[in-house]
Amino acid sequence: MTDPIKLYPAKPEKVYFFATCLVDLFYPDAGMAGIQLLEREGIEVLFPQDQTCCGQPAFSSGFNDQARDVVVPQLDLFPGDYPIVVPAGSCGGMMRKHYPELFAGTPWQEKAEALAARTWELTDFLLNVCHIRLKDQGKPVKVAMHTSCSARREMGIAEVGPRLLGQLGQVELVEQARAEECCGFGGTFAVRHPEISEAMVNDKTEALVAAGAETVVATDCGCMMNIAGFAEKNQRPLKGQHIVSFLWERTGCSDGEGEA
């Protein structure tokens, strides 16, 4: 059976943008870059102001009732039949894969399933719905790609980031030894199991440095924050950036022109 997530829609006139907590609180540049990339593709971006958390922290900790309490007020924030685009594989995976499970047998099941079916991870949407074409305006740089566990396994987009980066002529994408391994963040996992999490991010960071990467770009702010924060704390020569911020910086923010 074909995975429904790969049944891409036609390019729409409008989308809803679900920002995520980490973008909202720590990395607003990633949210703005994502919106600007979509707008440059001729898409009107709708941003419901009352959106909050996707409910993943409570859900992944086993608190389903509390997760529903967070999500229910937001189910009516996206009334138009437009895609919902999310700059995080983990939040996208929560909405697309787990909302039907979370709301099964409840009065909100139909709304939750309809919302889930319209949810897309941002880079996947840019590449496979917008068919974006990028013209690199930056200086030569070596980068490594980290695709979060949820983006890789729940959203099925492991190939998307490298394909987008491959359009940038001045970007050398280096291969890391631990490309498929978790960075150790895992949301509440890093809080509940800090020693294990630290060992995992140490392995990940050392592999990225050994690959010669100057910057690691990630699909999820949580992973990027974890890796870049560990690298900074331990004086490792590695910067972190959300991939959409990196793409916009390389192709759009200087003069607003991209290659259509």
Cβ distance 88 to 219 under 8 Å? Answer: yes
Owner of token pair 């593709």 = 41
What token pair was written down for 101?
A: 């499970």
Cα 106 from Cα 259, distance rounded (Å): 47
What mean pLDDT, rounded, does the chain reach?
A: 93
Per-residue pLDDT, 187: 79
Alpha-carbon span 120 to 85, nearest angstrom: 5
Query: What would the pLDDT profile of 35-68 be if each residue is shown by its tens digit?
Result: 999 999 999 999 999 999 999 999 999 999 999 9
Cβ-based neighbour number of residue 190 at 10 Å: 18
The mean pLDDT value for 181-209 works out to 92
Domain boundaries, the chain: 10-128, 141-251
Q: What is the CATH number of domain 141-251?
A: 3.40.50.1860
Q: How far apart are CA 121 and CA 119, in angstroms?
A: 7
**Stated pTM of the model:** 0.93
**Residues of the chain with pLDDT > 90: what percent?**
90
pLDDT at 255: 43
SS3 173: strand
Q: What is the pLDDT of residue 253?
A: 62
Residue 206 has pLDDT above 70, yes or no: yes
Interval 227-244 mean pLDDT: 96
Contact (CB, 8 A) for 107 and 72: no
CA dist 33 and 242 (Å) reads 10
Query: CA dihedral in degrees (75, 94, 151, 125; nearest 10)?
Result: -10
Output the six-digit token pair for 185: 């963040």
Per-residue model confidence (pLDDT) at position 5 = 53
Q: What does the chain come to in residues?
A: 260
pLDDT (tens digit per residue) in 98-128 = 999 999 999 999 999 999 999 999 999 999 9
Give the CATH architecture of domain 10-128: 3-Layer(aba) Sandwich (3.40)
Could you tell me which of 59, 153, 142, 41 has the C-alpha nearest to residue 101? 59
pLDDT for the residue numbered 258: 39
Per-residue confidence (pLDDT) for residue 259, from 0 to 100: 39
- Going by pLDDT thresholds of 50, 70 and 90, the confidence category of residue 189 is confident
- Asked if the model's pLDDT at residue 256 lies above 90, the reply is no
Domains 10-128 and 141-251 share a fold: yes
Q: Which residue has the tokens 């409570």?
A: 58
Q: Which carries the bigger pLDDT value, residue 191 or residue 243?
A: 243
Confidence grade of residue 3 (pLDDT, cut at 50, 70, 90): low
User: Directed axis angle between helix 243-251 and helix 28-40, to 10°?
Assistant: 50
